[in-house]
Amino acid sequence: MPKNKKPTIAIVSLTCCEGCQVAILDLGTRFLKLAEHIKIGDFALLEDEPEAPNYDIVFVEGSPITKENIERLKDLRARSKVLVALGACAALGGIAEIKNYQDKNERMHYVYKNVESINNPDIKPLSYYVKVDWEVPGCPINKEEFLKIVKQLLAGVPPTIARRPVCYECQIRQNKCLLQEGLPCLGPLMLAGCGAPCPSSGYPCDGCRGPIPGLDPEKLTKQLLSQKYSQEEVNLILERFGLQDKVYPEAPTKQL
């Protein structure tokens, strides 16, 4: 980026709960300090200025569900030097991907009693439609990690997330191991960085940050879970944050 020119950054939502943007706002004065060094090209939760024509970095949260979402995503890609998927919805498919594995017709009639039909495509991560340069994992993202990644990108340094499992942080917190107690915890497979809040509160890790790159998640998931749980139960766990098609790439999902 040229010296003396502030980089233009956009933070954009597709279909989602916007919890990752809220996590960014939760940085409070630290976000305002960061904002002194950048030009905000679009951040609808914070301002309603017209969009900048091009972005140095765009962070995209949420799922590209509607045709408008998909067109918006492609347009953002064309106008941005770097595109970052923000959170589990954008990077993995996230919670909304659960519907890919259900009877969508039955669900539609459960939710909308009097609707004949509705456009109800499968949920896909951003990378299904466009090139994604980096991912900020989590549901929601870790705000400290976001700040670190923004600073790295602004400095022209490739963002780094340590490739260690959630177990590493769980054991630092001296938790009792839920997996050893027979609960289906995905901690050994999942990328740390969250501080292991779920096992620290007595809940198994469901993998919102996605698998550690380079592992064979199918083999490891089998080793971890299948001796005690049925495939159906394993699938239900993997569906929670959009992991099933990462673990079983042949999982039946349909194109839009």
Binding site for ligand SF4 (CB under 6 A): 16-20, 61-62, 87-89, 94-95, 139-140, 166-167, 170-171, 175, 177-179, 185, 187-188, 190, 194, 196-199, 205-209
- Angle at CA of residue 246, ends 209 and 16, nearest 5°: 55
As measured in angstroms, the least distance from the Cβ of 53 to ligand SF4 is: 26
Is the Cβ of residue 7 or residue 70 nearer to ligand SF4 in the bound state?
70
* 215 burial via Cβ count (<10 Å: 0-12, 13-18, 19+): middle
As measured in angstroms, the least distance from the Cβ of 79 to ligand SF4 is: 22
As measured in angstroms, the least distance from the Cβ of 107 to ligand SF4 is: 18
Give the whole-angstrom CA distance, residue 123 versus residue 113: 22
As measured in angstroms, the least distance from the Cβ of 1 to ligand SF4 is: 27
Is the Cβ of residue 19 or residue 159 nearer to ligand SF4 in the bound state?
19
Is the Cβ of residue 7 or residue 136 nearer to ligand SF4 in the bound state?
136
Is the Cβ of residue 41 or residue 187 nearer to ligand SF4 in the bound state?
187
- Across the beta sheet with 80-86, the strand order is 39-43, 8-13, 55-61, 80-86, 134-136
Note whether 219 and 241 are within 8 A (CB): no
Give the whole-angstrom CA distance, residue 52 versus residue 84: 17
Is the Cβ of residue 7 or residue 140 nearer to ligand SF4 in the bound state?
140
As measured in angstroms, the least distance from the Cβ of 58 to ligand SF4 is: 15
As measured in angstroms, the least distance from the Cβ of 170 to ligand SF4 is: 3
Is the Cβ of residue 45 or residue 118 nearer to ligand SF4 in the bound state?
45
Residue at shortest CB range from ligand SF4: 187
